Amino acid sequence: MSTTQNITPPTSALSGVWGRITELDVTSGSGAWVETSDGQRYLDFTAGIAVCSTGHSHPHVVEAVRRQAGRIIHAQVNCYQHDLLAPLADRLAELTPDSIEQFFFSNSGAEAVEAGVKLAKQATGRTSVVVFQGSFHGRTHLTAAMTTSKAVYRVNAQPLPAGVFIAPFPDLTGGQASDVETERCLTDLGRLLKSTCDPSDIAAFVIEPVQGEGGYRPAPPAFLRGLREICDEHGILLVIDEVQSGFGRTGTMFAIEQYDIEPDIMLLAKGIASGMPLSAVGARASVMRSWIPGSHGGTYGGNAVACAAALATIDVLTAPGALEHVRSLAQVLRDALLRIQAAHPDAVADVRGLGLMLAIEFTDPAVTQRIVAACFERHLILTTAGTQGTAVRWMPPLIASREELDQAIAIFYDALASELAG
């Protein structure tokens, strides 16, 4: 079983374009578990691709959604503002770095990326952006041009929008020294700005502090500091894409907290609302004010029910001990993966990530696929990442119990043993 495959749609009316991880037909979910139409239960360590931060159907989130749906479902922001819109923006302003002061709401990560780029262009009057090799920013036409983690996201879609330049991202796989890789990539970026795209044309650098689809690769702190310095020197905006890494996933509310720099724009989605469609662009007030009123918007952005889910999600993630729990589970999982690497140095290329955004990368993509398939047979759902699909990524719900994590690790050990022995 391939971890992402074309599967015959269940009905003739449903598109087959989605790459699917499993063939499961789920009817319910609770916490870290999903249940299928035939009554089978699976431990879900994909969490809806890092969306279900509070697990499936967290009671506090469910009650917030139920209560808001009984008040008003769709209060379209051009027509009037509902009473959760500003409170959510204020709450996000409290949680994000001091430089992020105002927020615009949309529905998905790709929408947030597109809006962030549009905002950066309007704020600077410049035409282009720089992204980094191995990135994933979405699959819309512009974001496909910005995404370099897999060619499939661009297939048969060329030509894609212009004005997107690709710079190297430090690759520490195989034990490369962080300072050496950082210097190499910053040097290559400087060469790009001299030979290909003049800084006066660049509105923004857009980067994931931890690459998602690119293989759960954290950026070295010195690299992000170097980007901040280049941005400050040339009037370029630093856009931090926390679509996958945000909302507690890395053990802090946002990954950028671990880097001691401040962005000009932040892009938020996935874990923001426990599965309700919501995303946000946060920015300096001076940047946000440059957006011409009416030049951007969206029918469903800031939907009242989604905002209620987001506020409830934030309640859960900021409760006493919540992030300490994430960090505790992360240490247990990292230690387990490192033990695997030590026991199988020829098969395991790397263990990396931050918090509960962890990956174990195998040297052979076929081994990776077989292990994930073997885990699925044992009722543990995992998926892969990286250009070659060699990394198994771990993104469990942040509220998973230690017992559930231990169960998942035991299944992974068993699957690994059976596949490597075979």
159 contact partners, CB below 8 Å, separation of at least 6: none
**What DSSP state is assigned to residue 153?**
G
More confident residue, 3 or 333: 333
Residue 4 pLDDT > 90: no
Residue 60 pLDDT > 60: yes
Task: Give the residue ranges of DSSP H helices in 136-294.
Answer: 141-146, 178-195, 221-234, 285-288
**CA 22 to centroid of chain Cα atoms:** 20
Q: Where are the beta strands (DSSP E) in 198-356?
A: 202-207, 210-211, 217-218, 237-241, 265-268, 279-283, 348-354
User: Which residues face 57 on adjacent strands?
Assistant: none
**What DSSP state is assigned to residue 20?**
B
Q: What is the pTM for the complete model shown?
A: 0.95
CATH 3.90.1150.10 intervals, the chain: 26-57+321-421
Mean pLDDT along residues 407-413: 98
Distance, in Å, from the CA atom of 386 to the CA atom of 102, rounded to the nearest integer, reads 33
Mean pLDDT along residues 112-120: 98
Domain 26-57+321-421 has CATH 3.90.1150.10: yes
**Tokens 């890789």 -> residue:** 181
pLDDT band at 175 (very low <50, low <70, confident <90, very high): confident
62-317: CATH, from 3.30.420.340, 3.40.50.720, 3.30.420.40, 3.40.640.10: 3.40.640.10
**Which pLDDT score, from 0 to 100, does residue 2 have?**
41
237-276 residue pLDDT tens: 999 999 999 999 999 999 999 999 999 999 999 999 999 9
Q: How crowded is residue 288: how many other Cβ atoms within 10 Å of its Cβ?
A: 18
Q: How crowded is residue 116: how many other Cβ atoms within 10 Å of its Cβ?
A: 31
Of 341, 343, 274, nearest in space to 313 by CA:
274
Distance, in Å, from the CA atom of 419 to the CA atom of 6, rounded to the nearest integer, reads 24
Residue 1 pLDDT > 50: no
232 contact partners, CB below 8 Å, separation of at least 6: none
N-term to C-term CA, the chain: 16
Of 250, 254, 241, 260, nearest in space to 131 by CA:
241
Residue 11 pLDDT > 70: no
What integer best gives the mean pLDDT of the chain? 95
Residue 374 pLDDT > 80: yes
Task: Give the residue ranges of DSSP H helices in 289-377.
Answer: 304-317, 322-343, 365-377
Contact 381, 43 (CB under 8 A): yes
The structure tokens listed for 82 are 């509902």
CATH 3.40.640.10 intervals, the chain: 62-317
Mean pLDDT along residues 309-338: 98
Distance, in Å, from the CA atom of 180 to the CA atom of 170, rounded to the nearest integer, reads 9
**Which pLDDT score, from 0 to 100, does residue 3 have?**
47
Mean pLDDT along residues 304-325: 98
More confident residue, 26 or 421: 26
**Which pLDDT score, from 0 to 100, does residue 174 have?**
74
Contact 396, 373 (CB under 8 A): no
Mean pLDDT along residues 57-64: 98
214-229 residue pLDDT tens: 999 999 999 999 999 9
Distance, in Å, from the CA atom of 47 to the CA atom of 43, rounded to the nearest integer, reads 10
Report which residue type is found at 215. G
